A and B are shown apart, each in its own frame.
Chain A
Amino acid sequence: MSDFFPRGVLQEILRRLPPKTLLRFTIVCKSWRSLITHPSFISLHHRNSPSFLFLQFSNHFILPHRHSSTAPALRLPSFPHYDFPNVSFCNGLLCMAYGYQCQHVIVCNPSVRRYVTLPAPLQLPCFYTANIALGFDPSKCDYKVVRISCMVDDERFGLSAPEVEVCSLATGSWRTLDHGIAPVCYLGEGTSHGFHDGLVHWVAKRCVAGAWFNFVLSFHFEGEMFGEVILPESMARASLDALVVKVVGGGIGKNLTVFRVGGGSPCSCDIWIMKEYGVVKSWNKVFSFVMNGFCLEAPSLGMRFTDVEIPPIALCVTCSGEVLLLMDVAGRRCLYSLDIEKKTFTDVQIEVDTGFIYSGYYAESLLLLNKASGVVSY
């Protein structure tokens, strides 16, 4: 290190640089390398790194809300034998699980192009499907992956509690939680999830006296506990004509948000927000589209789209509170941002060439850079 430059002053510069630059600067000299790869610098850098909305489709990444004009070159590792992973985001890490039972799981930091492969989870009979999510445990400063496997065979479908396992990044091994820690329910393969206050949420369903009901299942990564949030009656009744009920929120600090697409024609696509977490009465239908044939109307906005082949798909709630929707208008798949309060519905000028898309909040970081064993660069 140069003679007059105090380490603290150097950190002032380095903590403001993106991971790609810092990775390059690890070969400036040995003292820079030890500074940049030190756990305390990695966490200092992470604390200063803002979160961006991250969208992935067809192996391309964009961070559309980033201030600089050029999006960073984020790339995922590719595994030729697997397509369409189940993807989960947390801070600067992505968890990708492949297969209908999520047997092959990696945790990846695309900012430094490093990933670790988790050991194989429980081997399950073929009549199980599985779902995973990645989250952070602040008490242990550790990332955890939870895998929830549900039995789908004809006779016992919906009558048993899911099998639950947790793998922490620090220990690198799976732990099976006590059977019955999750309530009796069914969580479909690839059910999308939403985060709110350190909890991950899915819409699950269960059979009560021969009828199916939807509810929101939550998992708390720190306490490794499940919880339930009751849905308003119109969504709780898992009638055959409801096509989609999914948790899309919230963005950072936003309320629990659920998107529902009804069946039939005309069908309605509703956005519901729970203003006060856990208080059933605070569920409020805040927005509705009506889809009639190939015509999509937003009555509260006075807008009408023709040549719409499928109902809009809600992706997520952004940190500024807008709902991001995937639309298919006149053969063009593109993203729209819906601001319910300001009553605006804007084409964000991002065209999507596939129906397969993930979104979430992501912060560029140096995570995984100092992990010694099992890390693969790509």
Chain B
Amino acid sequence: MQKTEGEESKAENEEVKQVTLMTSDGVKMKVEISIVYEMEIVRSFIEVNDADHSVPFPLPNVSSHTLDLIIELVKNEYDDEFMKTFSHDELKEVLVAANYLNMKTLLDFIATAIANLLEKKSVEFIRNFFNIVNDFTPEEEAEIRKTNEWVFQDLDED
């Protein structure tokens, strides 16, 4: 009986334990510590400094919108269906944030998802997706295309 109570109170304690994060757009967000612990960059700071969790930890490279998406992804245990609702910009923002926050599982999940999305896409789709300006001359591009003609076949519709 006593043991059960002990476990419950411990669970309650963990549940309320939150860390305040300050996003790039100045929003203070309280995030469960279990999620924060996936962010190596924050975790290492908290662990070393035993910091007061009410002082916001600044994340100058992550917007509140991106952080919301990350929290939802982690809460949903990296649900493919949920991620499919993301726009291209959201996918890229989450990837860059996952890399900055050093979230290994999220980085692997999102990089794999983007790789799957791009695998059968045309070069034009890729340039568009990443906002890349083509710096090849038309002659250079035609030459490379000619040598490797077979890789431009069997693509998805953009």
Please report A residues at the B interface, Cβ cutoff 8 Å.
1-6, 8-9, 12-14, 16-18, 20-21, 23-30, 32, 73, 113, 377
Contact = CB atoms under 8 A, between A and B. Distances in A.
Contacts of A1: 130, 132
Given A2-B132, A12-B95, 20 more contacts: A1-B132, A6-B96, A12-B111, A16-B111, A18-B119, A20-B150, A21-B118, A21-B119, A21-B120, A24-B123, A24-B148, A24-B151, A24-B152, A27-B123, A27-B145, A28-B134, A29-B133, A30-B136, A32-B132, A73-B154
Q: Which of A16, A17, A26 has the most CB of B within 10 A?
A: A16
B141 interface: yes
B96 A28 contact: no
Interface in B58-84: none
Given A9-B99, A25-B126, A17 B119 contact: yes
Contact of B144 (A13, A14, A18, A27): A27
Nearest to B141: A27
B119 A5 contact: no
Contacts of A9: 95-96, 99
Given A6-B96, A20-B151, A13 B123 contact: no
Nearest to A22: B151
Contacts of B112: 16
B96 A29 contact: no
A17 B118 contact: yes
B136 A5 contact: no
A16 B120 CA distance: 13
B134 A23 contact: no
A113 B99 contact: no
Contact of A23 (B111, B114, B148): B148
Contacts of A20: 150-151
Contacts, number: 75
B53 interface: no
Nearest to B112: A16
A18 B92 CA distance: 20
B17 interface: no
B12 to A, nearest CB: 38
B135 A30 contact: yes
Interface residue SS majority, chain B: helix
B115 interface: yes
A20 B148 CA distance: 9
B132 A73 contact: no
A23 B148 CA distance: 8
B142 to A, nearest CB: 10
Q: Which of B107, B147, B150 has the most CB of A within 10 A?
A: B150
B135 A6 contact: no
Contacts of B150: 20, 73, 113
B135 A29 contact: yes
Contacts of B123: 24-25, 27-28
A29 B127 contact: yes
Contacts of B133: 29
A74 B113 CA distance: 25
Given A27-B145, A29-B133, A12 B107 contact: yes
A21 B119 CA distance: 6
A12 B99 contact: yes
A1 B131 CA distance: 8
21 contacts: A9-B96, A9-B99, A13-B115, A17-B118, A23-B151, A24-B123, A24-B148, A24-B152, A25-B123, A25-B126, A26-B144, A27-B136, A28-B123, A28-B127, A28-B130, A28-B134, A29-B127, A29-B133, A29-B136, A32-B132, A73-B150
A17 B151 CA distance: 13
Contacts of A27: 123, 136, 141, 144-145
Contacts of A3: 131
Q: Which of B120, B127, B130 has the most CB of A within 10 A?
A: B130
Given A12-B111, A13-B114, A13-B115, A2 B131 contact: yes
Interface string B90-105: 0010011001000000
Contacts of B130: 1-2, 5, 28
A41 B154 CA distance: 25
A27 B125 CA distance: 12
